[in-house]
């Protein structure tokens, strides 16, 4: 892959990082939806596989239902379904991405919702929750984790990636406060990894697993 090709495939991603509002982010993804999977595959996008691998360490495949927060085009659900997880619910802020996710015929239910706002799900509705590539610059605020904790059952796991401006002390401080408040317990974390290893830029990230109290 040439540097120019790599730049073309990640340009939209950098545009999202630079977005100034949730509406702007959703609009960028709407315009990107049809090429999103092609572009991300071209840079070796690894978040979904990393999150799925971590979920399998702690959550049995018979657990249901699952929530895919920030579902995008449904890459995450495709992996989870192949690994034996069923009854997958999902939401995203982009209608264009949701249209493609729905075409996969994997999800039990798909909704247009945003992390950082109240989620239209019952308390303790889900056995586990995943969020791949969502908690990063220009995407969802860390406060969105409060709602993911609420909708996940006690004893269930929340597994998600953290990247860019949230990586390191910003997230660690936030997560520790929630642990001190008795909301969750940290189970595991990967080392930092490059989430687009075939791209020009290093986009470092980490995946975490927490158990809800």
User: CA angle, corner 190, sides to 49 and 137, nearest 5?
Assistant: 75
Tokens (6 digits) for 145 = 């984790």
Quick one: pLDDT at residue 26? 62
In whole angstroms, give the CA distance from residue 4 to residue 7: 5
pLDDT tens by residue, the chain, 213 residues: 333 344 555 665 566 565 556 666 667 667 665 776 777 778 888 899 999 999 999 999 999 999 999 999 999 999 999 999 999 999 999 899 899 999 999 999 999 999 999 999 999 999 999 999 999 877 789 999 999 999 999 999 999 999 988 999 999 999 999 999 999 999 999 999 999 888 777 889 999 999 999
Contact residues for 30 (Cβ-Cβ < 8 A; gap 6+): 94, 95, 96, 97
In whole angstroms, give the CA distance from residue 68 to residue 78: 11
Quick one: pLDDT at residue 155? 98
The answer to whether 82 and 16 have CB atoms below 8 angstroms apart is no
Quick one: pLDDT at residue 38? 76
In whole angstroms, give the CA distance from residue 213 to residue 203: 32
Quick one: pLDDT at residue 6? 46
Q: Mind listing the domains of the chain with CATH numbers?
A: 3-212 (3.40.50.150)
Quick one: pLDDT at residue 203? 84
């Amino acid at each position: 892959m040439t540097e120019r090709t790599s730049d073309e495939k990640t340009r939209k991603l950098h545009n999202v990082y630079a977005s100034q509002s949730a509406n702007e982010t959703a609009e960028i993804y709407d315009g990107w939806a049809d090429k999103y999977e092609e572009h991300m595959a071209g840079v070796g996008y690894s978040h979904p596989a990393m999150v799925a691998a971590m979920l399998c360490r702690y959550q049995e495949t018979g657990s249901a239902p699952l929530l895919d927060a920030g579902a995008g085009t449904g890459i995450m659900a495709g992996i989870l379904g192949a690994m034996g997880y069923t009854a997958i619910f999902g939401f995203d802020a982009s209608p264009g991405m949701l249209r493609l996710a729905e075409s996969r015929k994997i999800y039990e239910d798909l909704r247009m919702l945003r992390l950082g706002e109240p989620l239209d799900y019952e308390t303790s509705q889900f056995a586990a929750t995943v969020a791949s590539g969502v908690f990063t610059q220009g995407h969802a605020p860390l406060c969105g984790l409060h709602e993911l904790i609420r909708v996940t059952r006690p004893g269930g796991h929340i597994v998600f990636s953290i990247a860019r401006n949230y990586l390191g002390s910003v997230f660690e401080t936030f997560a520790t406060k929630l642990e001190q408040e008795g909301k969750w317990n940290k189970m595991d974390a990967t080392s930092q990894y490059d989430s687009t290893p075939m791209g020009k830029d290093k986009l470092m990230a980490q995946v975490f697993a927490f158990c809800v109290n």
